[in-house]
Structure 1
Amino acid sequence: MYSNGLILNFRQILKPKTLRFISTTLPSAKFKNESGSTLNIFDRNTKNLQRQRAAIAEDVNLYDYLKDEIGFRLADRVFDIKRKFKLAADIGCNRGYISKHISPDSVEELILCDVSQKNLDTVSVMDGIRVRKQILDEEYIEFEPNTLDLVVSCLSLHWVNDLPKAFKKILESLKQDGVLLAAVFGGDTLYELRSSLQLAELERRGGLSPHISPFTEVRDIGSLLTNAGFTMLTIDTDEIVVNYPTVFELMWDLKGMAESNAALNRSVHLQRDVQFAAAAIYEQLYGKTDPETGKVTIPATFQIINMLGWKPHPKQPKPIERGTGEVSLKDLYKLDEIIKEIKTVKNDSEGR
């Protein structure tokens, strides 16, 4: 897939774990200090300003390639659910990365929610879907209880300070047997850039500063959804690798996507000598040479956590009671023999 002169590769990249000096993953974006008060990790005003600026940029279309791909995949997952949802909400819709791919066969009415009116004005949906537009900050999700059949979100919830609260609010807004389908960046996102910046600052400054915001791990998403009250969870990950000419194009595109660092303790200024050192380290550690053209590119890995959760309903499938199984796991190696034996017993009983 080609976009903005870059190649999107869907493949695995070797991750040298020895270069991960700092843990940047949190089960929740909030933590408590010694006094017991809750502290925010992300500066929501900064993040909203970044999104507003990206929305009004003249070249905003150039930076849609990654989120468009992820939005298309999410919309395809909505289509896989064989149900027509009467009322759905797209939280943090941005420029409609999911909404423009949703089929009227899947959704009757869609509420588009974003912090930017400019984004809401530019979103387009397929004919046949009724649309409502609403200014909404993902930090403060408010809908009437038990009104929505489906909630979708594409790459916006990872900037929320209180994910447990956000998930609970979404659960409250859903009807029984309603569905949450969302995608966020995972903990392995931009590990190449993080490692290169850490090594560059160690070499040039003798210390480290946080330049990349923390991301949530897969295991934490499952716990958060379960604690919020969702059932029948499905959580999986994708890895999308984008090849860039240099680290500078990567950082420029992150700014255009409004995915720049918005952590409260971030280091705003990145010195020029550190930038050039990071670029050299990045190319040395991760650079790939095209055998045909001889050009060197650098890969940037984006780990996508996809989550699917259902609001409980009495008629939903439930696990059988513990201890009611008829076959031990230790006998799985002879499963074929057990099945043949069961079929033989069944045929004998029918013959009688």
Structure 2
Amino acid sequence: MSLVNIVFRSRKSSLTKLRILKNLKKARHFSVGALIHQKNDEHIMHVFDRNTKSLQRERAASAQDANLYDYLKDEIGYRLADRVFDIKRKFKLAADIGCSRGYVSKHISPKCIEELILCDMNRFNLDSVQVQEGIKVRKQVLDEEHIEFEPNSLDLVISSLSLHWVNDLPNAFKQILKSLKEDGVLLAAVFGGDTLYELRSSLQLAELERRGGISPHISPFTEVRDIGNLLTRAGFTMLTIDTDEIVVNYPTLFELMWDLKGMAESNAAINRSLHLHRETQFAAAAIYQQLYGKTDPETGKTTIPATFQIINMLGWKPHPKQPKPLERGSGEVSLKDLYKLDEIIKEVKKIKNDDDQKN
């Protein structure tokens, strides 16, 4: 933790510093959602090697220094737990899918959830998860690729930084919807398409210069627009989707790549390049430092930023008593009049006061 400095920003900053990076835009925005939309009912596009991902998670979970790499997932888990608290309801039964080391569950208050099902594909993680006193706990070995619960049994489903490794994400959303009761809630966070754009650009430029071509070394991530489409197709209503951006400063590229391995967030794409040449690594580190490096004016130390874009999603299972949107054309104020909204509000209040005086 002493090697990193976490900086939080609310909006996405400018991603392009040199004109040459524009040539890599298509590769950078290659997303899982783009592949998912190409699938039909008979065929699933397998992007990730689930066996590789299982081995990565098992290795990270069993490491003696596993807690050193929890800083990012802890922060995101805390934010997701805070969103659960914002829903003014006590959920009788909830499931944490891909709970890992309990990054969300340890922040959940018994005032929010009565009983929690902890689900993970790794038994070692399940044994190490801690929750607050007052919450009933069940543990279940479950692969996010095959989500199975009793239909209409859950009030809440939580998932933090797990679903972006699922090949058949549309089916995963459908299974979650099926397991929820009417008016049940899905709250989840996944890495977005702008995650690690600095590392991706640096590796691509280094390989173009050293090897004369580009190999995929970072797994594809989904985009905000894809998440909205998939949730809508699955049947969720009243969607709320937003993004956070967390920037972590590292000494060099090598510390960043080492921490990604410790987080079990290493590349698990089927078509990934298994070997990154040593000379390419050093070239990428130099490019990274040149394009994105920062120098502390007080200490003179240089660091490189790594951006993690977090897509937060909230969706509700349909229920007859849920609020419905007004019919198209029923609005009383035109969008073109928004610039004089204050005047409109004053006019409405004046008319209301006059009506009250008459009555």
Superposition TM-score, scaled by structure 2 size:
0.93
Residue 356 of structure 2 is aligned to residue 350 of structure 1: yes
Check whether the contact 2:32–2:47 (CA below 8 A) recurs between aligned residues.
Answer: no
Q: 2:265 aligns with which of 259, 266, 291?
A: 259
* Matching of residue 160 in structure 1 with residue 166 in structure 2: yes
**Corresponding residue for 1:20?**
25
Matched, 1:248 2:258: no
1:322 offset after TM fit, Å?
1.6
Listed as ranges, the matches of 1:77-156 within 5 Å are 77-156=83-162
Instruction: List alignment gaps of at least 5 residues for structure 2.
Output: none
Please state whether the residue corresponding to 1:202 is helix, strand or coil: helix
Whole-Å Cα distance in 2 between the matches of residues 270 and 207 of structure 1? 13
Distance 1:341 1:99 in 2: 49
SS in 1 for 2:304: strand
User: How many angstroms apart in 1 are the aligned matches of 2:150 and 2:243?
Assistant: 31
- Per-residue deviation at 1:350? 3.1
2:300 alignment partner in structure 1 = 294
Per the alignment, do residues 14 and 340 of structure 1 end up closer, same or farther by CA in structure 2, a change over 3 Å counting? Answer: closer
Provide Cα deviations, 1:313-346, integer angstroms capped at 9, x if missing partner.
1111111112222222223333333333333333
CA distance in 2, matches of 1:247, 1:338: 54
Question: CA separation in 2, counterparts of 1:60 and 1:339?
Answer: 56
The answer for the alignment partner of 1:9 in structure 2 is: 7
Structure 1 alignment gaps of length 5 or more: none
**CA shift digits 1:284-340 (9 cap, x unpaired):** 111101111111111100000000111111111111112222222223333333333
Is 1:211 aligned to 2:209, yes or no?
Answer: no
1:171-190 counterparts in 2 under 5 A?
171-190=177-196
Equivalent position to 2:44, from 38, 54, 68: 38
Q: Equivalents in 1 of 2:38, 2:8: separation in Å? A: 38
- Displacement of 1:6: 1.0
Contact 1:29/1:40 (CA < 8 Å) preserved in 2? no
Normalised TM-score (structure 1)? 0.95
- The one-letter code of the counterpart of 1:97 is Y
Name the % identity.
76
2:53 counterpart of 1:55: no
Give 1:76's aligned residue: 82
Give 2:229's aligned residue: 223
1:191 aligned partner, one-letter code? Y
Q: Is the 8 A contact 1:29 1:163 kept in 2?
A: no
- Inter-partner Cα distance in structure 2 for 1:32 and 1:323: 34
- Cα RMSD of the aligned pairs, angstroms, is 1.7
- Cα pair distance change 1:341/1:30, threshold 3 Å: closer
In 2, Cα distance between equivalents of 1:121 and 1:173: 25
Measure the CA separation in 2 of the matches of 1:28 and 1:168. 18
Q: How many residues align?
A: 349
Residues 15/39 of structure 1: CA separation in 2 closer, same or farther (3 Å cut): same
SS in 2 for 1:343: helix
Contact between 1:32 and 1:38, CA under 8 Å: does it hold in 2?
Answer: no
CA change 1:128–1:37 in 2 (3 A) is closer
Alpha-carbon distance in structure 1 between the residues aligned to 2:89 and 2:156: 10
Q: Kindly indicate whether residue 168 of structure 2 is the aligned counterpart of residue 170 of structure 1.
A: no
Q: Residue type of the partner of 2:14?
A: L
> What are the Cα deviations for residues 241-298 of structure 1, in whole angstroms up to 9, with x where unaligned?
0011110110010001000000000001101011111011101111101111111111
- Cα distance per residue 1:120-159 (max 9 Å; x no partner): 0000000000000000000000000000000000100000
CA contact (8 A) 1:30 1:40 kept: no
Partners in 1 of 2:210 and 2:316 — Cα distance? 50
Report the Cα distance in structure 1 between the residues aligned to 2:3 and 2:211, rounded to whole angstroms. 34
Q: What SS does structure 2 have at the residue aligned with 1:306?
A: strand
Quote how far apart the aligned CAs of 1:37 are: 4.3
The 1:164–1:260 alpha-carbon spacing in structure 2 relative to 1, beyond 3 Å, is same
Moved more, 305-314 or 336-345: 336-345
Q: Is the 8 A contact 1:199 1:278 kept in 2?
A: yes
Aligned to 1:243, the other structure's residue is in SS state strand
Displacement of 1:14 in angstroms is 3.0
Q: 2-side partners of 1:244 and 1:252: how far apart?
A: 11
**Which deviates more, 8-17 or 288-297?**
8-17
Among 273, 288, 291, which residue is 1:285 paired with? 291
**Partner letter of residue 292 of structure 2?**
Y
Q: How much does 1:32 deviate? A: 5.5
